[in-house]
Structure 1
């Protein structure tokens, strides 16, 4: 049985605000805890009007205070935006507050455009190829072997690291360091199979991990009927098209028949972006998850559901958990 987890972008819906989004995120995390999801992650994005999780560690502190057992973490922190010492201290603080529950996923993309990246870094001279060195430096802070500079809190704490990516770069790094690998197939699936194969072939065991561990991003829009699920998915369709055309937006309400109004090129983009998805009633969603697992042999799916109505979003996760995590009745003889 595959593990299921939650990837939450803390969507700010049209007409809503960041405070509402974060409170709905806490509600979703409590539901995920109740439903048996393995972990709940939030993602770092900046200058995005529809995403409330820019200050990821702060948002996770709130979610941690609203839950009690589920693992929580970043999926991920975009490490080039930060000094490794700062991230070690932030996630060391979270682990100190919520012991045994904190994960730290790391990515090398800025999570924003170039203007916002410059605003955060005050320089664009940082080389993305520095990312492996930054990861190693971060690991040393947790181990307590980085010389005179110490991460307090952080030093000596067990905060599992994960490498995130949507290309072969992250796969190679995760394999070389012996870390779990999370691929962003929920929005950039093009190199998924090649990256998974490369990671598994080159994996070197480490103190954290003895064997390769693959997590895959996966979209799920599950409702009582296929038609209702299709309608729910039109919010993220609109948001993706807006983002790809340089006009990021708050998550809009569903719009029936939205894809039919688009030119062929935009429809092709949506088909590609949403190719790793389950859209339908529970039985159909289960079949699509099973087919995806057969294809990828993933150890865990980290599921995102960008749904306008927060109640419908929780309902989608409920139906998915019932369909995938709970034993199914044997077919009649």
Structure 2
């Protein structure tokens, strides 16, 4: 180090400031200057942040400057961390605001879409009634009205799912969890879809190892969960296949299985099956319609009930979706689910709307 200039050990970005501070020390003798930050470079090129204070004094024939240096590496790291934290906080606030605006937009646009759809659907229903009661029934009119109604239901389903996904993301999706006999609810929902399933050339089997199991649930949301899974089973099962719904009492929980003999899902694709806006095979979309929202929504609804859902599947051998719901037993009397055949039919028309004959 002997014979080398001081400035060879100062980072080039700080050389000018160090020279200025030394110049001030030479003028203001015997006075400690203000501390300032410098980055020094060691002989093996390692950079270190330091704080420097210069003091100039007269040493007989010449003026000398003494520098007091303190390592401030940890302080610098702490300052950089604070800056990074503030930047991350700013980005988080911006992201939350963007997410809020996005959710509001989707909620507003979804409502705007649903309103005219309801008007169109109502008008089609009136046309259907008029055509059925008219003296000259037009079979072609029946066909066209049915096609238009199906596509209205399909759009209505998509819009409703978007609204509900938006509500779930925003944290204000409400469910009415009360004590019900889940066996009765699942049986009613399954049997309400039996005519539709059989019309598609499929057989339906319902089985349970218990007649009553009281849990806290929302019957409307359980209906959406079941009809979504059953419609998926119908969609991907060829005529002659079978769909099975089975309930198994496990004491502290109950398992609901929806199994089909359809095309199945490859193992490497099963991990993404519940991801939003994802479809296992985009080539299927030409024959099997779908938005990629349904199973994501099902998973969210199951989790809102405190449950879990998972998949067992093998290509060519079908798929089985298994829902596990906690019992949450209480001593309060449970409510009986009132007959809702009309509601079931309407829900089936909506949930099965993306399956064409």
- Give the TM-score taking structure 2 as reference length: 0.20
Q: Which has the higher strand share?
A: 2
Which structure ranks higher in relative contact order (CA pairs < 8 Å, sequence separation ≥ 6)? 1
Name which one, 1 or 2, has greater alpha-carbon Rg. 2
